[in-house]
Chain A
Amino acid sequence: MLKISRDDRQRVSFNLNGKKVHGWATTRMLLSDFIRYEIGETGTHVGCEHGVCGACTIRISGRAVRSCLSLAIQVDGMDIETIEGLTEKDGALTALQLAFRKHHALQCGFCTSGLLMSLSDLFNRKGKPSKDEITDVVGGHICRCTGYAGIIAAALEVASQR
């Protein structure tokens, strides 16, 4: 049985965007903070820290989840993907990112990394999602700039090309 005392710092390592990374975490360190401050990948944003705003959404084992509602010590050994790993191998933007740019699906960009991680999970698993499925996924995010219309349009365009 693993036991970590509140005074200890535990070595945590996992695959981040296909690369093995590690850092040190206290028991209460949130995964979102670990990714930003221990690993130094700041594309994952932190908004409400109670699972409502969706800014911190990442993928664990392929599934979009809130990184503020996980502890760093819970994901030791797992496969994690963040916005930094989303682009193609040569650095080119994915179809979803290109559609976001085309449809003005972002303005300030704070919610964008989370939205892209959620929608990429949807596209990976559903192939050609319906508008209802897209709206349901986007409903888990708060965007204060766009009014969501551009985000839905971008996702629908990607769905229609599949």
Chain B
Amino acid sequence: MKPQNFDFYRPNTLEQTIALLSELGDDGRVIAGGQSLMAMLNLRMITTEALIDISRLEELSYCKETDKFLEIGAAVSQAELMDYPNLSDIQPLLAKALPSVGHFQTRNQGTVCGSLAHADPSSELPLCLATLGGEVILQSTKGERILSAAEFQTGMLQTAIREDELIVAVRFPRSLTNAGYAFSEVTRRHGDFAIVALAGVACNGTLRLGVGGVAGQPTVCEWEIEPEECDEVLNQFAWEMEGVDDIHATAQYRRQIVRKLGRKVLEEAKLCSK
């Protein structure tokens, strides 16, 4: 199908972009890579009065390392992040999860921040952000807001972005010393939306597990425990997420993945931490 009509803007600067967003309000939608948005527009699941193209903004096309974070601008594609030098040292979870984000062809165009803005419950990048405890930088004419992953994604395809705000960048925490990271997911075919995606972090005696695809947003839990003893807490965690049956899998099947694959992911994270 084809999208409904809209006006199209390509601002030359970040300043112009946020001024335009403030002027258009909820009539305007931002497009960067468009790998989620264009599909939704083509299927007419959404319509918009105006599209604002930020894909050519040099100001948003950067990756920056600080002491604590790897900061990624809103125009950076998933493929560019995958090719970032030493990514598996800077943040191994990203290096492990990125190959499962969409397909080779959509990663070439789709952006890291766009995936966060789309906020699909089973997406890998929001899961990584939540599990690592990263943050999202939003900007509007009123100023800058920095939200934690938990504050940012509020539900299924729902975020705390205000209508005049733009995601300018995301910050993923750098790998901690003594920490191990692991990622795994269950899909019908590689590249499909995950039925359940799991991210594990082991650090100084604590285990953290992030789960995507069960609840409306990624859910994270942390325990001071060894992987061999985690069956009970994983069972409780699996029930607490209150997953529901859908066309892809039953809630029971999802709980079972959390129990079984959850343990494997935590074991692998623990192994990587040594």
B155 interfacial by beta-carbon distance below 8 Å = no
With a cutoff of 8 Å between Cβ atoms, the chain A residues found around residue B86 in the complex are none
Q: Of A57, A70, A73, which contacts B8 at CB under 8 A?
A: A73
**Quick one: closest B residue to A57, CB to CB?**
B105
Tell me, in angstroms, the Cα distance from A1 to B57 when the chains sit together: 12
**Quick one: closest B residue to A3, CB to CB?**
B9
Tell me, in angstroms, the Cα distance from A26 to B2 when the chains sit together: 12
With a cutoff of 8 Å between Cβ atoms, the chain B residues found around residue A51 in the complex are 35, 38-39, 106
Tell me, in angstroms, the Cα distance from A30 to B5 when the chains sit together: 12
B162 interfacial by beta-carbon distance below 8 Å = no
Q: Is the interface of A mostly helix, strand, loop or mixed?
A: mixed
Q: Which of A31-83 contact B (CB under 8 A)?
A: 33, 49-51, 54, 57, 60, 63-66, 68-71, 73-74
Q: In the complex, are the beta carbons of B103 and A74 less than 8 A apart? A: no
Identify 13 residue pairs between A and B in the complex whose beta-carbon atoms are under 8 Å apart, listed by A's number.
A6-B6, A49-B2, A50-B38, A57-B105, A64-B105, A65-B109, A66-B106, A66-B109, A69-B109, A74-B34, A118-B104, A135-B190, A139-B191
Q: Which of B182-202 contact A (CB under 8 A)?
A: 189-191
Q: Of B12, B79, B191, which contacts A63 at CB under 8 A?
A: B79
Q: Of B1, B8, B39, B51, which contacts A69 at CB under 8 A?
A: B39
**Quick one: closest B residue to A10, CB to CB?**
B8
B61 interfacial by beta-carbon distance below 8 Å = no
The verdict on A69 contacting B38 (CB below 8 Å), with A27-B5, A139-B103 known, is: yes
Q: Which of B93-149 contact A (CB under 8 A)?
A: 99, 103-106, 108-109
**Quick one: closest A residue to B11, CB to CB?**
A1
B260 interfacial by beta-carbon distance below 8 Å = no
Q: In the complex, are the beta carbons of A1 and B34 less than 8 A apart? A: no
**Quick one: closest A residue to B80, CB to CB?**
A63
Q: In the complex, are the beta carbons of B105 and A118 less than 8 A apart? A: yes
A23 interfacial by beta-carbon distance below 8 Å = no
* Bitwise interface map of B from 33 to 58 toward A, beta carbon under 8 Å scored 1, else 0: 01100110011000000010101000
**Quick one: closest B residue to A125, CB to CB?**
B83
Q: In the assembled complex, how far is the CB of residue B41 from the closest CB belonging to chain A, in whole angstroms?
A: 8
Q: In the complex, are the beta carbons of B106 and A27 less than 8 A apart? A: no
Q: How many residues of A contact B (CB 8 A)?
A: 35
Tell me, in angstroms, the Cα distance from A64 to B77 when the chains sit together: 13
Q: In the complex, are the beta carbons of A136 and B104 less than 8 A apart? A: yes
Q: In the assembled complex, how far is the CB of residue A28 from the closest CB belonging to chain B, in whole angstroms?
A: 5
Q: In the assembled complex, how far is the CB of residue A93 from the closest CB belonging to chain B, in whole angstroms?
A: 23
With a cutoff of 8 Å between Cβ atoms, the chain B residues found around residue A21 in the complex are none
A137 interfacial by beta-carbon distance below 8 Å = yes
Q: In the complex, are the beta carbons of B109 and A1 less than 8 A apart? A: no
Q: Of A6, A50, A74, A139, which contacts B53 at CB under 8 A?
A: A74
With a cutoff of 8 Å between Cβ atoms, the chain A residues found around residue B35 in the complex are 51, 66, 69
**Quick one: closest B residue to A2, CB to CB?**
B10
B4 interfacial by beta-carbon distance below 8 Å = yes
Q: In the assembled complex, how far is the CB of residue B49 from the closest CB belonging to chain A, in whole angstroms?
A: 9
**Quick one: closest A residue to B190, CB to CB?**
A139
Q: In the assembled complex, how far is the CB of residue B33 from the closest CB belonging to chain A, in whole angstroms?
A: 8
Q: In the assembled complex, how far is the CB of residue B92 from the closest CB belonging to chain A, in whole angstroms?
A: 19
